[in-house]
């Protein structure tokens, strides 16, 4: 049962409260709670207001020059215990200032990380930052021509830089272990998927269709766009989802596909194959996935088969999710992640694509097997790849 949030008298006295009618709400944009780990570390005040939208009211919870850990923590707690349709949002006119503020904090953290870990590859970090910026455009939703152009440029930059697989995987693995707040799932999926696609193009003898590496990377950036429509209480639940909650979670595939089709209809240039990945990335090679229970290769069956881009992104998605620290799980290291994936590979993944993926991560996995490598005890942890 959803909990009904009640605005305290203290909050009503401190905060401006605006009636949230339809006309007013068109001036606001919701923001992801994942940003708040950055805000909690912000060394400066903000120039925008943050609002809490619950039921028919907008509460100006944080005002310009009024940023504090206590207020931010209270805002996130209020969001977590409110109704499913509650949102943290800001005025659309303030979105550029908000995103610029987030980027300053992120860049500062990456600069500090470069000094503390000089072994990180600077080229990989630069491309990753570009991808992460594009990923945030996807997260904010409402894909328009300008956003789509920036997202496509980021995917093209990944492929044109011709990053080495070992350095890329090693740098991202170190990044997530050292500072999980810097890890961006869709940016990482795009990078891993792009690396797999690049290796597939070099392979001879594989009976696979032509792969456009830039389009595959772009598919990785867009694959989870539907999660912007999933309630935060489900998306970040610190435990196993109920059957009903999982059914809601599964809708991110169809909702993401619909959003990309809507963007196409509004004149945004998004390839049909890229949009299809948002729909198919949780389909499983032997069947049993969702939302349609497809199986096998599209080139073998037009009715039941899964597109090659989806088969690539599904592998990158699982690997990235395992590396990522979330509220319901700790991060796995590369060796542990690939061991888990090998157990499900024959059922879930295209064997030809998975074999190439193993080659991509093999050098980093060997490092993880080094006896001097830090060992983590991950027994009994929740594994959930939404």
Assign residue 173 the CATH number of its domain. Answer: 1.10.3210.10
Tokens 């400066």 appear where? 44
Q: Based on the domain organization, do 254 and 351 belong to the same domain?
A: yes
Q: Based on the domain organization, do 79 and 137 belong to the same domain?
A: no
Average pLDDT over residues 11-38: 81
Higher pLDDT, 232 or 121: 121
Lowest mean pLDDT among 32-36, 70-74, 117-121, 322-326: 32-36
- Residue from 297, 302, 332, 298 nearest 318 by CA: 332
User: Is 1 domain-assigned?
Assistant: no
Average pLDDT over residues 54-83: 74
Mean pLDDT of the chain: 83
- Find out whether 64 and 48 touch, Cβ atoms under 8 Å: yes
Q: Based on the domain organization, do 51 and 82 belong to the same domain?
A: yes
Q: Based on the domain organization, do 37 and 159 belong to the same domain?
A: no
- pLDDT recorded at residue 378: 41
Number of domains, the chain: 2
Q: Based on the domain organization, do 338 and 307 belong to the same domain?
A: yes
Query: For residue range 91-109, what is the model confidence (pLDDT) as tens digits?
Result: 989 988 888 888 788 778 8
Within a 10 A sphere around the Cβ of 60, how many other Cβ atoms?
Answer: 16
Within a 10 A sphere around the Cβ of 50, how many other Cβ atoms?
Answer: 26
Lowest mean pLDDT among 139-148, 296-305, 310-319: 139-148
Query: For residue range 170-211, what is the model confidence (pLDDT) as tens digits?
Result: 888 778 777 777 778 899 999 999 999 999 988 877 888 889
Q: Based on the domain organization, do 244 and 345 belong to the same domain?
A: yes
- Residue from 196, 303, 317, 195 nearest 256 by CA: 317
Tokens 């196993």 appear where? 240
**What span, in angstroms and rounded, lies between the C-alpha atoms of 249 and 236?**
11
- Find out whether 199 and 165 touch, Cβ atoms under 8 Å: yes
Lowest mean pLDDT among 70-79, 213-222, 233-242, 312-321: 70-79
Range of the structural domain that residue 232 is part of: 117-368
User: Is 265 domain-assigned?
Assistant: yes
Quick check: 256 pLDDT over 90? yes
**What span, in angstroms and rounded, lies between the C-alpha atoms of 213 and 160?**
10
Higher pLDDT, 257 or 20: 257
Q: Based on the domain organization, do 187 and 46 belong to the same domain?
A: no
Lowest mean pLDDT among 29-33, 119-123, 165-169: 29-33
**What span, in angstroms and rounded, lies between the C-alpha atoms of 288 and 294?**
7
User: Is 377 domain-assigned?
Assistant: no
Query: For residue range 321-371, what is the model confidence (pLDDT) as tens digits?
Result: 998 876 656 778 888 889 999 999 999 999 999 999 998 887 667 665 655
Which residue, of 94, 126, 156, is where some domain finishes? 94
Q: Based on the domain organization, do 81 and 35 belong to the same domain?
A: yes
Instruction: Please tell me the pTM assigned to this model.
Output: 0.80
DSSP 63: -
User: Is 375 domain-assigned?
Assistant: no
Higher pLDDT, 166 or 57: 57
Quick check: 66 pLDDT over 80? no
Q: Based on the domain organization, do 248 and 302 belong to the same domain?
A: yes
Q: Based on the domain organization, do 258 and 289 belong to the same domain?
A: yes
């Amino acid at each position: 049962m959803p909990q009904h949030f009640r605005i305290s008298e203290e909050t009503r006295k401190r905060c401006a409260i605006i009636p949230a009618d339809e006309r007013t709400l068109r001036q606001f944009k919701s923001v992801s709670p994942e940003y708040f780990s950055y805000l909690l570390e912000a060394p400066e005040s903000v120039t925008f207001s943050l609002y809490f939208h619950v039921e028919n009211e907008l509460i100006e919870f944080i005002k310009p020059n009024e940023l504090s850990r206590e207020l931010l923590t209270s805002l996130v707690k209020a969001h977590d215990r409110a109704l499913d349709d509650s949102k943290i949002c800001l005025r659309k006119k303030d979105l550029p200032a908000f995103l610029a503020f987030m980027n300053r904090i992120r860049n500062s953290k990456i600069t500090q990380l470069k000094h503390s870990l000089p072994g990180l590859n600077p080229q990989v970090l630069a491309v990753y930052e570009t991808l992460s910026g594009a990923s945030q455009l996807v997260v904010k939703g409402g894909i328009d021509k300008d956003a789509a152009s920036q997202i496509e440029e980021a995917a093209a930059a990944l492929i044109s830089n011709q990053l080495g697989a070992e350095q890329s995987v090693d740098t991202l693995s170190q990044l997530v272990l050292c500072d999980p707040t810097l890890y961006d799932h869709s940016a990482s999926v795009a990078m891993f998927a792009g690396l797999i696609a690049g290796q597939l193009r070099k392979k001879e003898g594989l009976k696979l269709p032509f792969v456009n590496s830039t389009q595959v990377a772009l598919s990785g950036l867009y694959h989870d766009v539907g999660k912007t429509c999933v309630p935060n209480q489900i998306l970040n639940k610190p435990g196993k989802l109920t059957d009903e909650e999982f059914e809601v979670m599964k809708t991110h595939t169809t909702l993401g596909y619909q959003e990309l089709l809507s963007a196409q209809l509004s004149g945004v240039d998004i390839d049909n194959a890229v949009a299809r990945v948002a729909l198919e990335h949780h389909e499983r090679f032997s069947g049993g996935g969702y939302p349609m229970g497809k199986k096998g290769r599209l080139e073998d069956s037009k009715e039941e088969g899964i597109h090659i881009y989806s088969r690539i992104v599904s592998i990158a998605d699982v690997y990235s999710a395992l590396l990522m620290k979330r509220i319901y799980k700790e991060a796995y290291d590369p060796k542990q992640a690939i061991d888990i994936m090998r157990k499900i590979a024959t059922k879930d993944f295209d064997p030809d694509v998975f074999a190439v993926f193993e080659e991509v991560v093999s050098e980093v996995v060997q490092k993880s097997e080094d006896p001097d490598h830090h060992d983590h005890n991950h027994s009994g942890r929740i594994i959930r790849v939404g």
